[in-house]
């Protein structure tokens, strides 16, 4: 495979029903509005735009395409790739995993659990080869992360413990970055009322609106837009920097492409009032190369998983046992 710098996709979207949509909101900010520059000859014009879905949220949604929530396991195409599966030490009941945790391999459930017969922090330190008074070896770290959970090399992980615990505090940025923006936006204000058919009046001695009683009017703001665009970037240069060899590098790229295609084909229902679909059936990158279908990618990926057997060991889930976490202030 020839490594170019990036693979870039811009996919125009439309609401599945109607023309309105509800964008993501942020604490203390609300809707993330901004002015988007647009070149018009030698002049720059500005369009009112907003963030429909953030990069961090899209990373979670892309990664979720590869996880089957009905059985709490990866989808079949990724059988043979390792990940850390966390179970409760008392009854072996599944709790979470490095594929579903916000911090992935740096999850508190893994750090505070028992992995490889020792505390998770110590096991991770040993597997990554972290040592005091030694510089980080990024390729060795990448190889060790690949053997624990290759998805962390796609969606990123930050081993943010004190240097006395994880020397060097390795950080792997996202290879696959995505977000959704709406351009030329207009407010669509509306409202409604929550009716109480039983309690017709509120007195001082009885429950009020804070407890859910009473008839309460409310306002609602949705948006319309001239364009809604989902943008995706796969950093092939970063994949190459891992030094994993061609089969593993091809597998990481194919997995990123598969996640993009699967997310788009499944629809982007971010919220009750934000259900989006691709405007066009054919999807191509900025270089003109078409985005392969999930089926085309899956056959290729199964073969690559087999070729990576020397990097993933047995390729089975790696069990971590969690029993309630450390005591606050223990300092460990």
Strands 176-194 and 216-235: what pairing? antiparallel
What tokens were used for 101?
């945790």
168-189 pLDDT per residue, tens: 999 999 999 999 999 999 999 9
Closest CA to 95 of 332, 323, 328: 323
d(CA 98, CA 63): 11
d(CA 121, CA 108): 9
Pairing assessment for the beta strands 118-119 and 25-26 based on DSSP bridges: unpaired
3-state secondary structure of 166: coil
Beta-bridge partners for 72: none
**Could you tell me the two tokens for 36?**
């988007």
Give the strand pairing for 6-15 and 274-278: antiparallel
Residues 6+ apart with CB under 8 A from 39: 45
Hey, which residues does 34 pair with through a beta bridge?
Answer: 49
> For the chain, how far is it from start to end, CA to CA, in angstroms?
45
Q: Return the bridge partners of 194, or none.
A: 216
* Interval 24-63: pLDDT, tens: 998 888 999 999 998 888 899 999 999 999 999 999 999 9
Residue 33 CA from chain centroid, whole number: 22
Contact (Cβ atoms closer than 8 angstroms) between residue 179 and residue 231: yes
Whole-number Å distance between alpha carbons of 202 and 257: 56
Of the candidates 106, 138, 109, the residue with the CA atom closest to the CA atom of residue 124: 106
d(CA 242, CA 223): 42
Reading the chain (332 residues) residue by residue, the pLDDT tens digits are 444 689 999 999 999 999 999 999 988 889 999 999 988 888 999 999 999 999 999 999 999 999 999 999 999 999 999 999 999 999 999 999 999 999 999 999 999 999 999 999 999 999 999 999 888 899 999 999 999 999 999 999 999 999 889 999 999 999 999 999 999 999 999 988 888 888 777 776 667 887 788 888 888 899 999 999 999 999 999 999 999 999 999 999 999 999 999 999 987 999 999 999 999 878 999 999 999 999 999 999 999 999 998 898 778 899 999 998 764 444 44
| Tokens 């006395």, located at residue | 164
Question: 88 near 95, Cβ under 8 Å?
Answer: yes
Q: Name the burial class of residue 80, with classes exposed (0-12), middle (13-18) and buried (19+) by CB atoms within 10 angstroms of its CB.
A: middle
What's the rounded Cα separation, in Å, for the pair 82 and 191? 48
| Alpha-carbon dihedral sign for residues 143, 94, 162, 174 | positive
CA dihedral in degrees (72, 73, 75, 80; nearest 10)? 180
Burial class, 72, CB count within 10 angstroms (exposed 0-12 / middle 13-18 / buried 19+) = middle
Q: Nearest CA to 6 among 308, 281, 256, 282?
A: 256
Q: Rounded distance, CA 140 to CA 37, Å?
A: 41
Query: What's the distance, CA 322 to chain centroid?
Result: 24
């Amino acid at each position: 495979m020839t490594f170019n710098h990036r693979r870039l996709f811009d996919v125009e979207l439309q609401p599945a029903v109607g023309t309105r949509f509800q964008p993501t909101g942020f604490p203390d900010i609300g809707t993330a509005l901004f002015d988007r520059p647009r070149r018009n000859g030698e002049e720059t014009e500005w369009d009112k735009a907003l963030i429909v879905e953030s990069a961090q949220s899209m990373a979670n949604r892309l990664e979720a395409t590869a996880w089957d929530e009905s059985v709490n396991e990866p989808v079949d195409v990724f059988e043979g790739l390792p990940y850390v599966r966390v179970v409760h030490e008392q009854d072996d009941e599944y709790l979470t995993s490095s594929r579903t945790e916000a911090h992935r391999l740096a999850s508190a459930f893994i750090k505070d659990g028992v992995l490889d017969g020792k505390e998770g922090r110590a096991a991770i330190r040993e597997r990554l080869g972290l040592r005091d008074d030694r510089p980080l070896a990024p390729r060795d770290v990448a190889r060790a992360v690949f053997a624990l959970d290759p998805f962390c090399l796609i969606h990123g992980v930050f081993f943010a413990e004190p240097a006395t615990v994880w020397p060097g505090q390795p950080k792997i940025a996202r290879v696959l970055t995505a977000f959704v923006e709406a351009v030329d936006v207009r407010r669509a204000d509306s409202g409604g009322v929550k009716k109480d058919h039983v309690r017709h009046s509120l007195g001082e001695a009885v429950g009020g609106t804070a407890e859910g009683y009473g008839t309460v009017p409310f306002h609602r703001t949705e948006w319309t837009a001239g364009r809604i665009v989902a943008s995706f970037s796969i950093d092939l240069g970063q994949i190459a920097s891992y030094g994993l060899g061609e089969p593993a590098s091809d597998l990481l790229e194919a997995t990123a492409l598969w996640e993009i295609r699967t997310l788009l084909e499944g629809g982007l229902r971010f919220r009750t009032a934000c259900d989006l679909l691709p405007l066009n059936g054919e999807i191509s990158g900025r270089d003109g190369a078409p985005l392969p279908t999930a089926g085309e990618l899956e056959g290729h990926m199964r073969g690559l998983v087999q070729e990576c057997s020397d990097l993933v060991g047995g390729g089975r889930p790696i069990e971590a046992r969690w029993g309630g976490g450390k005591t606050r202030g223990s300092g460990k």
